[in-house]
Amino acid sequence: MAFWDIDLETRMGAESAADQGALACFIYTGILVISLAFAGGMILDTLAVNAGAGIVLLIPFAVQMGVVLVAAFRLRAGKGAFWGIGAAVLMGMGVVAQLISLSIGVVLIINAILFVFTIQGIRGAFALRKSHFSEDDIEAFE
C-alpha cells in the first residue's frame, strides 16, 4: 500500500500508518544525531571557551531529539498523536528553515518526505484513537 493511499477505515491501515510515522521519526532522530556529530566540533570549541554558551548550543538538539524520539515510540504503540504533532511541528520548522536559507537539495527532499510520513502517522494514531472499525463488528458475530 502506498503512503499516499492509506485506508484509515481499517485497523490494519491505521496501524500501518502509525508505524510509518514512527519509522519516519526514528529516521529523523538518526539525522539529528548525525547533524549533532557534525556540529560537535563547533560545540566543543565553544565549550572550551565558554561553557555556558556550549550548553545553550546543545539544548535545541536535546529537546528536538527528545520530542521526536518519544513521538517515535508513542506512534509505534499507536497512541502518540500529540507527540507526533510536536515532532511534525519541529520537522516543519526545519523544512521551512531550509527553504528560507535556500539550501534546496537532497536533504530538503528527505526531510519533506519524512514530514509527510509523520503526518500520515498522526492520522493513523487519531484513527486508532477512535477505536471503532468495521471489522470489529464482524468479529463480534462470528
pLDDT digits (tens, 9 = 90+) for 38-66: 776 666 666 666 666 666 777 788 888 89
Burial 107-138, CB ≥16 within 10 A → b, else e: ebeebbebbbbbbbbbbbbbbbeeeebeeeee
SS3 content of the chain, % helix, strand, coil (to 5): 80, 0, 20
Angle among Cα 118, 121, 123 to the nearest 5 degrees reads: 115
- Residue ranges in the chain modelled with pLDDT below 70: 1-5, 7, 40-55, 132-142
Q: Please, are residues 121 and 21 in contact by the beta-carbon 8 Å criterion? A: yes
Taking the model in full, what pTM does it have?
A: 0.80
Q: What is the pLDDT of residue 104?
A: 80
Q: Please, are residues 114 and 27 in contact by the beta-carbon 8 Å criterion? A: yes
Q: What is the pLDDT of residue 102?
A: 84
Q: What is the pLDDT of residue 135?
A: 61
Q: What is the pLDDT of residue 141?
A: 56
Q: What is the pLDDT of residue 27?
A: 92
